[in-house]
Structure formats: structure tokens, C-alpha cells
Structure 1
Amino acid sequence: MDLRIQRSVVSNLRTRPKPVEVGPFVAGLDPDTASPFVNYATPQPGATITAADVAALVEAFEQADRKPRLEYVISAAPQLESLLLAAGFTVEARHEYLICTPETLVLSRVPSDFVLEEPGTDGERAGMISAQMEAFGEAPEATEPAVAGVRRAQERGGIALAARTTEGVWAGGGQASAPQDGLSEVGGIAVREAFRRLGLGGTITAGVARLLFERGAEIAWLEAGGEDSWRVYERVGFRPAGKRLYISL
């Protein structure tokens, strides 16, 4: 499973607006945002990596005016971490990733007074993004590049699913990348504070996974940022499967 997940990450980064291949690395660079959580690199699984390769990757990030950062499945490049540490990188986090299949998925009831829908207009996309940003503690402003990014992802086969009240107030949302090799990463699951503890997080997660499976994906995967989200994801059928590393300069 580790190799499948890592290969899908590589393939997904190659669909970014400015993908860059540096030796054994693929970097997904976005000209519209400097966010390190959007601009990062990952190694091709099984590739031989040297200190010179790491130096070349750092230079590519610096030329693009982006912070050098990597995300990857640890077992796909077991010697890479020591090379990165020697180059001055610092570990941000080690997370277990979880996977879900059509057989393990547990659908969750949509709480009363709420609806789930795939945003079909830029106005709806902006509403979902604003709710997600507020939930993540950021200014609830949906920029044109962010809206265009969601639209492009949907056009490529990705999923966006928004939650709103029946009165039209945006409560949260979640997304998933277009499947690569039958796999898709689920992310951005977020619910505004005023609407938490109602089961919306699990409902959105299960809804995104259901849409992926209906459209041909074999496995949905994600990472939990804490014990609360871990429990939410396990309730809807996600199970631990491997470990990933986040590391930056």
C-alpha cells in the first residue's frame, strides 16, 4: 500500500500548474500562492537519492521563491530523511495515513437542517472555501485563484463537497484529488466552529469517499491532524495503513 500511495502522490503533483522534476523528486509549485502546504516536493519511490539531489531540489525551490518542503511515505525513501536533516531540514510532523475502501465505508446521516452538495458555480465554491478557511483559523476570504483551483480540480475529476444549512449558511466542506492509479487523497475536511459537534465532519468525509467510489476510485486515503479527527475518520470506515513524513527547510 505504501508504494501505491506514494506513486499516487507523485502523479497528483504532476498535475499542478507548475510541476518541476528535479532528479528523483517531483515538486508541485503553484504561482498563485506561497503556502508551503500547497508547494512541496515528493520523491519517486525506490529512486536512488544523493546529497547533490537534495541540494538541487533546494535550489529549485529558491529559484521559485518558495520554501523547500517535502511530504512523502517514509518507507518509499527510507534513506532520504537523513540526507534532508544533514542539509538543514527540520521535521514538521510524522503522521499515520488512513485508507478507506467501498467495503469499509460507513455512510453517515446528514444532520437535520443541513444539506450536502457539490458546488457547481464559483459563488458556491467561494462559500465552501470561506467556511473551510474560517474553520482552519484563517481569514474567511475566497480568492479568485482559490476558487479557480477548486473548479480546475473538479474538471479533472476531483471532488468538492460543501455543507450548508437549509437557510443557505455555509458550514464547511471537503475535497479529494482526481484518482491516480485508483487512489485519491481526501483533504480539507473542515467545519466552522458554530456547526461542530453535530456530526458534519464525518458526514462530509463519508460523502466525499462515496462520490469517489461511485466514480471508479478503489481507495480513498487521508491523514488525521489529531485524536478527534482520527475518531471521526475511523467511524466512517478509514483504517491506519502507513506513515508519512512532513519536513521543511
Structure 2
Amino acid sequence: MSTSGVMGEPRLSSSELDAIERFYDAVPRRRADAENHGPLTLFVRRGDGWPYYARPTFGHPGPVSAEDVAAVRARQRELSVPEAFEWVLEITPGLDAAAEATGLPVRRCPLLVLSGEPVQVALPADISLALVTPRDPDLAAVQAVAHVAFGALSTAAGPAGPAERDATAAALPAGHTAAWHASLVEGTMVHAAARGRHGALAGPLCAGSYQHAEGVAEIVGVGTLPAARRRGLAAAVTAALARHALDAGARTVFLSAQNDDVARVYERVGFRRIATACIADPAEHE
């Protein structure tokens, strides 16, 4: 059963949201220990790599209070991990107010699901696009693209380009690089990159990934160097990842957009909004 509202509002599908909720619970368990805190579960990463977060306990029927959030934040401080929370607003509607009551800012992002086949995007003649393999010689540069892209203050075109990418690649923590490489070898994530063939914009310019579990694939981390924006690269990488996920057997392909402007890029590829992804993190104040 689904409901639809006026244009621009999410169209909710309980089956899609149930599948996504199962996915959200399954993916962190590959590399994290799950601590049960009643209505919240804290995922604590094992070994090096990006830290995880807390999210609503899968299947928990009750609401989440500000006291629940405060207790998990205290545990996160005890473990010296980020005081971060992620959830779907329509599944756990009171968590935004509870998080804000403890002083955590909440960012609300469009959550979109692929509807039908992805619309393939033509690339400029000087750009190639391919999946990333463990043997690619520029793995660090591919990984660094997202750091530079998301470090920019907006999604507009800007001066940051290959020089900033290469400097970032040289400074990546060894543990993060190893975890990223392991995801390639194990196949737990699939990465794709658009690369400039020559000239000032040579090498990786746009990159993205998808992670998968329970027949669901989430496209994440699609970012373009500011100097290479407005050329359709992010849309092309997203479409290629979506196509690969479907061919690999995914029944649901979804993603979260940074804002409405970015969501419109994904809508042109074939995604439609169904809900709202929430992120609460003190870093939102910075």
C-alpha cells in the first residue's frame, strides 16, 4: 500500500521502506558490533575505517525519547566515537524531536528509490566511466574524489580539482584506505569512477559506490570534483551503479540526496522520492 501527496512530497511505500529498514540494520553488522540500547542500537566498528552510528533498533515498537538519545550519546563519548545517529523519519517519526532536545542538529534529506530502469546518461567525449577494481593504479585518487567533493561548501562548480584530489589522496589515513580496498576485494561495495582522459582534468573526476544486503542496494558517496561539475558526471555514475546493482540481483535500489537540488539530478536518472533520511551529528554545527 502506498500514499501520494502533492508534487514534491514523498510517496510512501511500506514494502519499500520495510526492505530499506532491514538493509540499514544488516549492513553495519558486517564490520561492527551491535550494542542494544532499548529503542536504539549503537554500531561500534571493529578495526580501522569510518566509524558507524546509532539508529533505531530494528523491529522495536516503542518511541525514542530524549533520555534514550542522551544515554547513547554518553556511551559514544565513552567509546570516543562520533555522536551520530541515522534513521528514516517516516519509520521513526519522533526521533528528530528527541535528538534536537539533546542539542543535536538534525539534517533532513530526500530519500529516493529507483523506479523502473535507470536512464543512462551520455558522457563528454573526453570522459570514460568504468567500475573500479582492486588492481586499478589510482585507487587512492578515486577515494579522494569524494573527500574533496563533499568538503566543498556547496554543490556549485569551483576551483578545486585534480591538484586537491592528489594532495588529499597522499594524506588519506592508512586504515581508511585499507578498509576501502577490502570492500573492493570482498565485493561488499561496488565502486565506479568517471575519469578524464587527458589535459588539466585528467584522472578520477567523479566517483560513487553502492553497498548491498538483503536484496537492497544503496548508492552512496557520489561526488564530483568542483572543477569538473556541470558536465553530467554524477548522473552518469549514479545510472551506471544503479544498472550494475539491478543486474547483480538487487530488487530495491535507493539513495539519499544532500538537498532538493541534488535530488532533482537523481530524479532525472529515474529515482523518485519516497521518504526522508535523517542524520543527527554535532558536526552539523561546524
Name the TM-score, length of structure 2 as normaliser.
0.76
Alignment pair present for 1:136 and 2:136 = no
User: 2:195 aligns to what?
Assistant: 164
Alignment pair present for 1:112 and 2:162 = no
Per-residue Cα deviation, 1:113-145 (whole angstroms, up to 9, x for no partner): 111122223643212012222222276233322
Cα contact 1:135–1:191 (8 A) shared by 2: yes
Amino acid at match of 2:209: Q
The match for 1:24 among 29, 36, 39 is 39
User: 1:145 aligns to what?
Assistant: 175
- Cα distance in 1 for residues equivalent to 2:19 and 2:276: 13
Q: CA shift at 1:83, angstroms?
A: 3.5
User: 2:159 aligns to what?
Assistant: none
Per-residue Cα deviation, 1:163-201 (whole angstroms, up to 9, x for no partner): 112235121200111x22211211111111221111111
Evaluate the alpha carbon distance shift between residue 4 and residue 72 of structure 1 in structure 2; reply closer, same or farther with a 3 A threshold.
Answer: same
User: 1:191 aligns to what?
Assistant: 224
- Cα distance in 2 for residues equivalent to 1:90 and 1:17: 23
Cα contact 2:127–2:197 (8 A) shared by 1: yes
Give the share of equivalent positions with the same residue, in percent: 26
Alignment pair present for 1:76 and 2:91 = yes
Aligned residues: 243
User: 1:10 aligns to what?
Assistant: 25
Amino acid at match of 1:173: A
- Cα distance in 2 for residues equivalent to 1:84 and 1:183: 28
Unpaired runs of 5+ residues, structure 2, are: 1-15, 153-163
Cα contact 1:122–1:147 (8 A) shared by 2: no
User: 2:279 aligns to what?
Assistant: 246
The match for 1:100 among 107, 114, 126 is 114
Cα contact 2:40–2:64 (8 A) shared by 1: no
- Cα distance in 2 for residues equivalent to 1:85 and 1:45: 22
Root-mean-square deviation (CA, aligned residues, Å) is: 2.4
The match for 1:180 among 193, 213, 222 is 213
